[in-house]
Structures are given as structure tokens and as C-alpha cells.
């Protein structure tokens, strides 16, 4: 096995072949736009820093001696996309891979056609000199790690170790790397933010984005949420410091005040934002655990061996309280009780409760609603000008619990008492 770093032009000029066992080409225009954005960033950085290199990833090749070619085992989606970009930059260019490939799969043909058209449109809107700068970047800035093996079994073993057994970086780790790169001209600032960042456990940071920031931001927009993965990190890449957009100017003026879903400036502000919300979550937990005014809620949440549905409703309450405190910075008892009754009533309503139901309930989905309350609570919080609007929200609580199991009945009776100003 041999591993070497090659500029992209050198890689594309190799006698590459797409073997028959490869899956179809499935990159979408979103994937292509991300790659073009990375190339644009690399061009700008290379202008500022002589000798700058941008590594676009790795490619695994099998040296097929019987056919005198290099079969692509891993990296075909990126390689084909880079070829399409080069063909738009230099329509007269010739590459062995394209010269010898048939691309008979219909899905591959459709995606390559769509992406080729998209790249043409994207490049067409760049300044005239951008094309020449991009071609130079392919020759002396963009590079890839090329791993070549002699036996195809070794190639597949390596592919499996990278894509199956290997642990990919968490989304927050990718964001950390992205925002540190934006701070490269401030080494002391980088050192300080990393020191503070590492004061929080990785699990705590992961939990903050996956269970609070990302779901709340989606629900406030009236959208269902989804798992927070590497595909979703664009939501937290922030605004470039030098951006001339109006919303970017507002973000710069607002710093270091943060609101869920609102833009922030890339770099240091990302770490300040994450630190702000990590502390805020701890403050919420402290209030719930110590406030005598919330003792009734604490008692109702302290059931032994809660069901999965109860835990889902509990999580929804914490998200609602997170959104509320983020906007109003108080623990008004009436408001907190309303949020609690609203969130936990979905457990009383539903015998079987999973996260899909929570997703619908959070945005106030009224279609064939089986819920006692169909309130888009997160949007209501996001639009409220005063916390009194939340405190004055009418949240209904059942007064009959016939046929319910012990957990739902006990919870419902507790909510009924709480809604009348008392607790069981």
C-alpha cells in the first residue's frame, strides 16, 4: 500500500477507471455547491497566504495490473464532481476516466447532467478572472490523499475501516475545526476559546446541539426537526466577518447577544454562543432542581421508571423552557406551568408516544389532531413580545382519565391540579 498527497490536477490525469461494482453517482446540487464553496474559500486563502494548501479528502485506488488502470474504490462521487468542474473551467480538457467510461446507469447520467448544468450556471456568475484562478488552484492548491493498493481485498478492507468501523467526527467537532480556521490570524484568541471549550464534556456539547439548539430552531420556524448530523452543520457556520449582507451587519452589531436561530459571526462568536447556551442550560437545570416555586413540577417529573413516552414529553418541556428562557430570561411561574402542562399533556393524550408525534405536536400540527392542545408553542414563544403572552396562553387539561394506565392517569391528575393553581 502506498499513500501520497497529490494536487487534484495530477489525480484527475491518472489513468483512473470506474469499476462495475461501484454504486451510481448520487451527488446532488447541494453537494456540488458545498464543494464549489470550498474551492472558492481555498482560492481566497491562497491569495492571502503563499503556499496555502486545501485538502479536499482522500481517494482509495486499486492498481489493476490486468487492465493496466487504477480502479476507484472510494472517492468516486468527489472525483466525478471535480471532473465536471474541470470540464466547465476548461471545456477542451481530456481525462482518461471520462474518455474510457460509458456511464450507462440512468441515475448516474441524470445526476451528472444536472450537476454539469448547475456548475455551468455557478461558474458563469463568477468574475471573469475566477476561472483562471480556479484552474491554478486545481494545479497548486487543492490536494487529496491518494492511497493505492495492489490487491483489491486490501482496498475493500481499507474502505471498510474508514467508512464502517472508523468513528466519524461529531458535528460539533467539525464546527470547532471550521470556526478555528476562521480565527487563524488570532492565535491567542484560538488558544483561549479552545481552553474554555474543552472545559465542557464532548457529550454535553453534543447534547446541546442535538437536543436543544437544532430542534428548537426548527420548531420556532414551524418545521419538523431531524437528527443533527454532519449534513446539518451549515446551520452553525455563521456569517463571514467580511460579508456585506445586511443581516450580517445586524449580526455583528448584536454580538455577543445571542438568540436561538439568529445569525452570528463565524469564528470566536461561535464558541461564545455555544458557551452561552451551555451555561444557560445549566442555569435552567439548577432552577428546576432548587426553586421552591417549581417543587410541584419537580415532584411530577420524579416518577420512578418513566416510560419512553414520558421521557419524550419531559424532553419537549425542557426544550420549550429553553426557548422561553432564551427569549425572556425569567422563570415566571405561570409561564413555566403553562409550558409544563402543554408539553406533558401529549403524554396523557397518547398511549403510545414516540419522537415523530413530539415533532408534530411541537409545531402545532392540527391535521386530524388527537391532542387536547394544538398550539404551535415554539412559534408563539418566538413571536411573543412579552412573557405575559405565554403566561396568558390557554392550555387545556383533561378532566377525565378513564381507561388510562397508572402513569398517564397520575400525570393527568397532577396536571389538572396544577392548572387550577395547586398540585397533588
* Residue where a domain stops, chosen among 165, 180, 215: 165
Domain with 223, as residue range(s), is 171-279
Whether residue 113 sits in one domain with residue 91: yes
CA dist., res. 310 & res. 369, Å (int) = 19
Whether residue 154 sits in one domain with residue 182: no
pLDDT on residue 370: 85
Average pLDDT, the chain: 89
CA dist., res. 313 & res. 411, Å (int) = 11
Whether residue 209 sits in one domain with residue 116: no
* Residue where a domain stops, chosen among 165, 182, 215: 165
pLDDT on residue 168: 55
Whether residue 138 sits in one domain with residue 6: yes
Find the mean pLDDT for residues 368-387.
Answer: 92
- Indicate the range of 113-127, 298-312, 355-369, 392-406 predicted with least confidence: 355-369
- Domain annotation covers residue 338: yes
Find the mean pLDDT for residues 18-26.
Answer: 79
- Domain annotation covers residue 148: yes
Whether residue 349 sits in one domain with residue 266: no
* Residue where a domain stops, chosen among 246, 279, 312: 279
Whether residue 159 sits in one domain with residue 176: no
Nine cell digits for residue 149: 493498493
pLDDT on residue 98: 85
pLDDT on residue 169: 63
Find the mean pLDDT for residues 67-88.
Answer: 91
Whether residue 186 sits in one domain with residue 161: no
Q: Which of the listed ranges 25-29, 72-76, 326-330 does the model predict with the highest average pLDDT?
A: 326-330
- Indicate the range of 47-51, 164-168, 304-308 predicted with least confidence: 164-168
Whether residue 304 sits in one domain with residue 225: no
Whether residue 409 sits in one domain with residue 300: yes
- Domain annotation covers residue 287: no
Cβ-contact 119, 36 below 8 angstroms: yes
Whether residue 133 sits in one domain with residue 26: yes
Find the mean pLDDT for residues 52-58.
Answer: 89
Q: How confident is the model at residue 13 (pLDDT cuts 50, 70, 90)?
A: very high
- pTM, two decimals, is 0.67
**Does 166 score more than 50 pLDDT?**
no
pLDDT on residue 142: 95
pLDDT on residue 289: 95
Amino acid at each position: 500500500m502506498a499513500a501520497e498527497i497529490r494536487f487534484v490536477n495530477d489525480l484527475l490525469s491518472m489513468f483512473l477507471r470506474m469499476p462495475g461494482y461501484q454504486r451510481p453517482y448520487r451527488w446532488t446540487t447541494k453537494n456540488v455547491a458545498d464543494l464549489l464553496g470550498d474551492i472558492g474559500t481555498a482560492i481566497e486563502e491562497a491569495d492571502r497566504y503563499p503556499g496555502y494548501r486545501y485538502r479536499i479528502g482522500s481517494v482509495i485506488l486499486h492498481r489493476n495490473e490486468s487492465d493496466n488502470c487504477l480502479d476507484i474504490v472510494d472517492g468516486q462521487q468527489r472525483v466525478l464532481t471535480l471532473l465536471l468542474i474541470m470540464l466547465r473551467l476548461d471545456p477542451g480538457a481530456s481525462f482518461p476516466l471520462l474518455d474510457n467510461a460509458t456511464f450507462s446507469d440512468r441515475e448516474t447520467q441524470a445526476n451528472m447532467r444536472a450537476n454539469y448544468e448547475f456548475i455551468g450556471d455557478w461558474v458563469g456568475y463568477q468574475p471573469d478572472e475566477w476561472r483562471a484562478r480556479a484552474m491554478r488552484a486545481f494545479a497548486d492548491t487543492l490536494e487529496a490523499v491518494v492511497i493505492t493498493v495492489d490487491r483489491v481485498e486490501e482496498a475493500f478492507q481499507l474502505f471498510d475501516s474508514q467508512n464502517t468501523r472508523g468513528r466519524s467526527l461529531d458535528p460539533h467537532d467539525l464546527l470547532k475545526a471550521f470556526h478555528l480556521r476562521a480565527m487563524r490570524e488570532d492565535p491567542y484568541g484560538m488558544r483561549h476559546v479552545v481552553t474554555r471549550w474543552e472545559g465542557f464534556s464532548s457529550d454535553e456539547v453534543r447534547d446541546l446541539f442535538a437536543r436543544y439548539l437544532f430542534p428548537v430552531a426548527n420548531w420556532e420556524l414551524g418545521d419538523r426537526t431531524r437528527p443533527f448530523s454532519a449534513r446539518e452543520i451549515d446551520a452553525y457556520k455563521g456569517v463571514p466577518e467580511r460579508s456585506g449582507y445586511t443581516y450580517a451587519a445586524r449580526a455583528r452589531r448584536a454580538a455577543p447577544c445571542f438568540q436561538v436561530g439568529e445569525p452570528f459571526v463565524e469564528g470566536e462568536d461561535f464558541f461564545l454562543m455555544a458557551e452561552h447556551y451551555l451555561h444557560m442550560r445549566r442555569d435552567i437545570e439548577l432552577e428546576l432542581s432548587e426553586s421552591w416555586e417549581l417543587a410541584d413540577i419537580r415532584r411530577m417529573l420524579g416518577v420512578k421508571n418513566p416510560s419512553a413516552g414520558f421521557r419524550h414529553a419531559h424532553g419537549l418541556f425542557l426544550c420549550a423552557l429553553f426557548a422561553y428562557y432564551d427569549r425572556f430570561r425569567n422563570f415566571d411561574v405561570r409561564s413555566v406551568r403553562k409550558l409544563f402542562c402543554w408539553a406533558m399533556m401529549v403524554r396523557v393524550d397518547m398511549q403510545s408516544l414516540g419522537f415523530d408525534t413530539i415533532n408534530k405536536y411541537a409545531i402545532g400540527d392540527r391535521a386530524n389532531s388527537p391532542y387536547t392542545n394544538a398550539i404551535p408553542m415554539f412559534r408563539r414563544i418566538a413571536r411573543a413580545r412579552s412573557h405575559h403572552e405565554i403566561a396568558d396562553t390557554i392550555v387545556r387539561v383533561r378532566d377525565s382519565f378513564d381507561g388510562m394506565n397508572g402513569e398517564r392517569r397520575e400525570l393527568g391528575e397532577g396536571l389538572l391540579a396544577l392548572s387550577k393553581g395547586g398540585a397533588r
